[in-house]
Structures are given as C-alpha cells and as structure tokens.
Amino acid sequence: MSRESIKVFAPASVSNVGPGFDILGFALNQPGDEIILSKTQNDKIEISKITGDEGKLPTNVEKNTASVAILSLMKKYKIKNGVSIHINKKMGLGSGLGSSAASAVGAVFAYNELFELNLSKDELLEHALAGEFVASKAIHADNVAPSLFGGFVLIRGYEPIDLIKINYPSDLFCTIIYPDIEIKTSEARAILPKEVSLKSLISQTGNIAALIYGLSTGNYQVISRALKDVIVEPVRSKLILGYDEIKIAALEAGAFGSGISGSGPSMFALSNSEEIANKIASETQKVVSNLGLKSVTYVSKINEVGPKILD
C-alpha cells in the first residue's frame, strides 16, 4: 500500500580519512539528519520546515541541498510528483561531518522510497551529488558516497565516477570530538598547498595504500602506522585550537589513529572497542574544556547500510 509521507535517517560521515584526502570516507551511526517528505496535490517541491539549524539554512528550493537533489532526480526521470520537505538537522552545520551531504542523500533516498521508483543507489548518487554541489560548489563524493552506501568508500575517480567499497574490521569504533570552533570549508581549502614535493607524494601514497590494506585485512598495527597525513593535516590543524593536545589525548586513551574529519573542526579517532572509544571521548573532551571551549562527542560503530526508513 502506498504511503502519503515518509521519514528517513541519513548518516553523517567522516571524509579525508588520514591520508585519504578527497578520496576516502566512512559513514557513522550517529549523528545524522532526518528528512520527512509528504506528498502534495501538485508537482511542486517546497520546503515546509527546517529545524535544528538555528535559521541558517535556505528555504529556497534552488539553494537547499535536499530540494536540489530531488529536483535533479525529477528532471532526469521526468517525474511530476510534488513533495513537501521537512529537514530536521541532527548535527552541526560546518562540523566537518558531511551535514549537507546527509541532507541530499536523505532527500533522494526518501523520494525514491515514497514513490516506489525502484532506483538503485548507483542511480541516486548523481542526484545526491547535485544537491551537495549547492553547498560545496564542487563535486566531492567522499561524504555523499559513504552516507548513501554505508561503510568505507574509496573514490578512485570522477570521469566517470568510480566507487570502491572497502572491507573493514567489524569491531571498529569511531570517536568524534567536535569542538565549538567555526571553520568554513572554502577557507580550509584555500590554504592548501597548490603543489607538493615528490617526497611528500611518495609518503602519502604509501600511507593510503597501507591504510586500505590494513582496513581490508583487519590489521590494526598497519592501520595505526598508515593513519598519517603529511600534506593536508599539517596545514589545516592550525585552524583547530589545541589540535595537537587533543590528538595526543586520543592516542594516550587508546586510539590507534586520529585526524581531522573533512575540513574540521571535528576530529576522529579510531579504536577497536566501545570502552576505549568512550574513554577517548572523555579524555579529549577534558582537553577541549581546559582550552575554554564547549564540545560535543559521538561514539559510533561504522554505519554499514547508509540511510534507513524511520517511519
């Protein structure tokens, strides 16, 4: 029986994983976005409500990632089924956790389910990316792809887009420490070096190759050695107050690797038990508090499935 409305959850994601700048990301069980779509009696898309954003997100359907993603899908398949969109932001804007990607993914996933279009996730991907483009002004799949497909996703290339799902240990946990610092993605990208030395390139490619191997084989010692970014982290870490102290606290609490999530300010730390992951959250939060900052922490296993129907 067809339904008149649908509510879905789309997960946050960690991108730029260690040496995997712009090419590697993974999905989280929490936080994420909730998208509610309700059928209308016309062919228009409207944003009826946005909550949890402190009034910062646009309600113009041409500028919001969720509505643009749906409009892209409707245009390609010549669909004229209108919906009203309620976006419930359950994560910080500009957190480095793929907030705009989650909204775009949740929207097209929900639309596909509501109207029983039977489109595959591969077919939904280009429309989620179209939505993400509104926010980032560039096509980057390292948040969108993990949020849509779940798990770890490697983006090998874009012409055409080539995604590879990476195996990972089933007991892998991620701790997110999100300090109350504002970092604009555009500014974080502007400070990146335009060229890198051959020495740095060799080190970075060696680390990403080792990281993929370590994840695929469940070798934590290799993962620990490979979670090193010699190109982007040294530059972007300067934007995060207390970065080195937070990272040291995470490692001393049992993390086998830590780094910046996306453009920051959120940082991630990987471990192999919930107990250690919670300890990392506690110890890193103490450091942030001592710096005079508020923060939020999340502890999550890797999200294996991507978006899901809530109601």
| CATH class assigned to 5-167+304-309 | alpha beta
| Domain boundaries of the chain, sorted by first residue | 5-167+304-309, 173-300
| Region of 301 on the Ramachandran plot (φ > 0 left; ψ -120 to 50 alpha; else beta) | beta
d(C-alpha 147, C-alpha 52), whole Å? 19
What rounded mean pLDDT belongs to the chain?
94
Fold of 173-300: Alpha-Beta Plaits (3.30.70)
Catalytic residue at 132? Answer: yes
* pLDDT tens per residue, range 154-210: 999 988 899 999 999 999 999 999 999 888 777 778 889 999 999 999 999 999 999
Kindly name the residue from 132, 175, 283, 284 that is annotated as catalytic: 132
* pLDDT tens per residue, range 128-162: 999 998 877 777 899 999 999 999 999 999 888 99
Rounded (10°) angle between helices 274-290 and 243-252: 150
pLDDT value of residue 93: 86
Catalytic residue at 40? Answer: no
Three-state SS sequence of the chain: CCCCEEEEEEEEEEEEECCEEEEEEEEEEEEEEEEEEEECCCCCEEEEEEECCCCCCCCCCCCCHHHHHHHHHHHHHCCCCCEEEEEEECCCCCCCCCHHHHHHHHHHHHHHHHCCCCCCHHHHHHHHHHHHHHHHCCCCHHHHHHHHHCCEEEEEEECCEEEEEECCCCCCEEEEEEECCCCCHHHHHHCCCCCCCHHHHHHHHHHHHHHHHHHHHCCHHHHHHHCCCCCCHHHHHHHCCCHHHHHHHHHHCCCCEEEECCCCCCEEEEECCHHHHHHHHHHHHHHHHHCCCCEEEEEEEECCCCCEECC
Q: Is the peptide bond before 31 cis (omega within 30 degrees of 0)?
A: yes
Kindly name the residue from 34, 65, 175, 185 that is annotated as catalytic: 185
d(C-alpha 74, C-alpha 107), whole Å? 12
pLDDT value of residue 142: 93
pTM value is 0.94
pLDDT value of residue 1: 53
CA distances from 62 to 46, 66, 78 (A): 10, 10, 18
Three-state SS sequence of 20-37: EEEEEEEEEEEEEEEEEE
Residues of the chain with pLDDT under 70: 1
